[in-house]
Amino acid sequence: MQDIQKLISGFRRFQRQFFHSDDTLFDQLRRKQTPKVLVIGCSDSRVDPAIITDCRPGDLFVIRNVANLVPPYEPDTHYHGISSALEYAVRFLEVEHIIILGHSHCGGIDALMRSSEQTPIGEFIDRWVDIARPAKNAVLKDLSKKTTEL
């Protein structure tokens, strides 16, 4: 309960200090968002795109998921949260830049690199990070041709 109370206190502080300190910005954001940059970042709690790029509310349209992956285009009847957010940013918000924001010590990429058909990581994680398996295989193949000698 203490963690929830911290969030509530933080929200109240935001309302008192940050929100009221820039009435013009939040008045504009109430009417419309116009971010120029879409960031596809990792869900990792240590890597918040707005904080690490020193952006203000409305500067970035952010999509976050495990390992900052973009699934392939698959027009079917399944749910497509990442694809729909990407489509919204490009078609309706008309973002000008798309950044895939990776980071070191990523648990999702670690799961991809450690996973194999014989050692599943998790029911949903394995299937999700498998999106990047072709890239993993290409990198491992390329690295096998490299020497560590200088």
Q: Which of 59, 64, 80, 103 is catalytic?
A: 103
The yes-or-no answer on residue 103 being catalytic is: yes
Among candidate residues 12, 46, 97, 114, the one labeled active-site is: 46
Please give, one letter per residue, the 3-state secondary structure of the chain: CHHHHHHHHHHHHHHHHHHHHCHHHHHHHHHCCCCCEEEEEECCCCCCHHHHCCCCCCCEEEEEEHHHCCCCCCCCCCCCHHHHHHHHHHHHCCCCEEEEECCCCCHHHHHHHHCECCECCCHHHHHHHHHHHHHHHHHHHHHHCCCCCC
- Is 42 considered catalytic here? yes
Instruction: List the catalytic residue out of 44, 59, 126, 130.
Output: 44
Active site residue 64: no
Residues annotated as part of the active site: 42, 44, 46, 103, 106
